[in-house]
Chain A
Amino acid sequence: MYLLILWLPLLGSIFTGFFGRFLGHKGSSIISVICVIISMFFSILAFFEVGLLGINYYIVLSPWIEVGLFKISWSFLFDSLTITMLVIITSISSFVHIYSLEYMQNDPHLPRFMSFLEIFTFFMLVLVTADNFVQMFVGWEGVGLASYLLINFWFTRLAANQSAIKALIVNRVGDFGLSLGILTSFYIFNSVDYLTIFSLAPLFNNYNLNFGGVSISGITTVGIFLFIGAIGKSAQLGLHTWLPDAMEGPTPVSALIHAATMVTAGVFLLIRFSPLIEFSYIVLNILVIFGSLTAFFAGMSGVFQNDLKRVIAYSTCSQLGYMVFACGISCYHVSIFHLVNHAFFKALLFLSAGSVIHALSNEQDMRRMGSLIKFLPLTYSLMLIGSFALVGFPFLTGFYSKDFILELSQITLNNNLGKVEGVFACWLGNLAVFFTAFYSFRLVYLTFLNSVNINRIMILKSHEPSLLMLIPLILLSLCSIFLGYIGKDLFIGLGTDFWKSSIIILPMNSYFIEAEWLDTILKWLPFLFSICGIVLATLINVIKVYKLLYNNFYRIICFLVNKKWYWDILYNRFFVYPILNFGYFVSFKALDRGFIELLGPYGFSILVPTWSSIFIKLQTGQLSHYLFFIVLGVCLLLIVILNKIQLLIFYFVLIFFI
């Protein structure tokens, strides 16, 4: 059963991919959906067995690579962390599968789409169930590949091609860091197995690596490399530029990849390696700083985006920042709890955005929507549930995880704990809450509540989606409402033994109990911030305060935020173009076609004719010249044979006479 969770999506992908032509739309849809749904049921059963009954499974399939100390086997580890991720991935994936049956029903390449979705699910499952670094890397790269294929699904569109390439390459930067991390951990621990590394990690606390005289803690190095991988995959600040661009793919793809699964792989990696990075304060501090910056930056960038999906993409980025800094303050279980909740309400948001886009025949610009509450009441209520869950409205899922993360970050303000970077996390996180509330409700207002901005034909054609799309949406919205309450005690309750050994928090880093004794006003703070955001969005959109805001300062800020703080442009100008120019002018023109060719065949082919023509010209036909060379030759021969320099004098005399 445990392996079937993995094999079923692979099977479905192979069938729909290779035989989609014969199966047709309906056949491939049925096969793929059935495969994923069975996989989901199995993983829920597995969750019962592993998570609730507390039996960890460790399945060794076959040896893979065995060279000396380097032993890798295909083996699968099912512990609480894995099983939680399994449930998320398979359930979100099955919802997306069912959803895309209708969303993509007019697409001529539906079997291909299903195949790609399933291969993505399979690789994601490989990623989370792996018990060693290399197998995890298979899933990691496979997920990147599948994301390329999915973003590029409409391959005739230039923008889709570009953003798919961007996603793949930007991810690859992080993958390089991760592969360095794998190599370093093998160098340090002589093993790539999780269990070996984790049990050795405390013993290597004082182990230092030497880089040309500079000595760096080994665990810190591995942790930083892993975090570079997580930056790429989880779209943290620095490599986040691919995520908003990846919205070029179809909406179900965005829901599957960029909400629930692929971007959480980086956070999953950090949580999985909690036994390792717990021992390095530097890595934890980096996590806090990067995570809180990402949360703040992405929250702010989302504020003035006008693309429906891009707003949600930035919100994803921002929430991932929360998860990462929750890891940084050593609350991995809160981080994974937020990951679970976020997967559900973000998938809900994406899919209901897809429903809006579907109803308006592929109109994505929020400025051209409005008053859809009249035409899509169900989608409106689903979107509202998603938005409330996202802003952390009390008693929805977001409240139980996000507000708890913020409370924990406020704990770090406590002087006794001596965590300076906690201030960073606390304030940036709280400001991000404000922005989150603002853009969520800006989205709701612009799409559903403001007066209409669409032409009549589109309005008349707009309709609620059929049951095929609504069932996943409704299930997701139920999850978004109740999952936080249900899961709270299991995942982050006081003294829960759900995580067992899969997450390790050192006692000196563990202070989530203190969060229970925070000041009440501090506990209210995130809620107050989000209410402020909601009120501001309401003011701007309902009472039309924005007419007061038409001044230059507002316009500049608005422009800057809309252009995502010029990250892309700065990257293009300072990294991409210089590198491309280097590639063309230096490595191609100056080295490959220049210097090396000049020393190689091209230069040789010039050299030989030149010198041979010179030697041909030496033979002038004049008898005296021939005589000169004869005598010259004899002289040189004598010099060589007798090895006497005196004869050179004779030689010079001869030349003098000539």
Chain B
Amino acid sequence: MLIYLNTTSVSILLFLISVLGIFLNQKNILVMLMSLEMMFLSISFNLIFASIYLDDIVGQIFSLLILTVAAAESSIGLAILVIYYRIRNVITVELIHLMKG
């Protein structure tokens, strides 16, 4: 029980750290992407742990799927980033505010 709690807390802590990483970052969009990767990581970590704990394979299958999705997502994200950089010559998050309400 104690182990379970600790491990869950680790993954949740990791998740929260990545949320804050996205949240508090005002400068670099690369860091945001990295935090996003870390989120995926913490979630798949959580899934793997749960599958072991519950003795069920579905969690690991999900984790594998998430890995592929994360890889695809980061590649698309980086591609968008490159295109954006090509146009604007800058990737500072603060300066992306053309979509004002």
A contacts, CB < 8 Å to B: 616-624, 627-628, 631, 654, 657
Contacts and interface: CB of A to CB of B under 8 A. Distances in A.
Contact of A620 (B22, B23, B24, B100): B100
Interface string B1-36: 000000000000000000110111110000000000
A624 B25 CA distance: 8
Interface in B50-101: 93-94, 96-101
A620 B20 contact: no
A624 B98 contact: no
Contact of B23 (A616, A619, A631): A631
Contact of A624 (B19, B26, B100, B101): B26
Contact of B101 (A616, A627, A631, A654): A616
A618 B100 CA distance: 9
Most buried by A among B20, B24, B101: B101
Contacts of B93: 623-624
A40 to B, nearest CB: 88
A631 B24 CA distance: 12
Contacts of B20: 657
Contacts of A622: 94, 96-97
Contact of A621 (B25, B26, B97): B97
B86 to A, nearest CB: 19
Contact of A618 (B19, B23, B101): B101
Given A631-B23, A657-B20, A657-B24, A623 B101 contact: no
Contacts of A628: 23
Contacts of B100: 619-621
B97 A620 contact: yes
Contacts of B97: 620-623
A632 to B, nearest CB: 11
Nearest to A617: B101
Interface string B28-49: 0000000000000000000000
A333 B100 CA distance: 93
Contacts of B94: 622, 624
B99 A624 contact: no
Most buried by B among A620, A624, A628: A624
20 contacts: A616-B101, A617-B101, A619-B99, A619-B101, A620-B97, A620-B101, A621-B97, A621-B100, A622-B94, A622-B96, A622-B97, A623-B93, A623-B96, A623-B97, A624-B23, A624-B26, A628-B23, A631-B23, A654-B23, A657-B20
A620 B100 CA distance: 5
Contacts of A619: 99-101
Nearest to A622: B97
A653 to B, nearest CB: 9
A443 to B, nearest CB: 87
A624 to B, nearest CB: 6
B101 A657 contact: no
A618 B20 CA distance: 21
Contacts of B101: 616-621
B99 A657 contact: no
Nearest to A626: B99
A90 B99 CA distance: 90
A226 B22 CA distance: 85
Contacts of B22: 627
Contacts of A616: 101
A522 B101 CA distance: 100
B47 to A, nearest CB: 19
A422 B33 CA distance: 107
A621 B23 CA distance: 15
Given A619-B101, A620-B97, A621-B98, 5 more contacts: A616-B101, A620-B101, A622-B94, A624-B23, A657-B24
A624 B27 CA distance: 10
A622 B96 CA distance: 6
A652 to B, nearest CB: 14
A424 B25 CA distance: 98
A536 to B, nearest CB: 93
B23 A627 contact: yes
B23 A657 contact: yes
Contacts of B24: 657
A107 B83 CA distance: 99
Contacts of A631: 19, 23
A616 B20 CA distance: 26
A618 B101 CA distance: 7
Nearest to B94: A622
B69 to A, nearest CB: 19
A628 B20 CA distance: 10
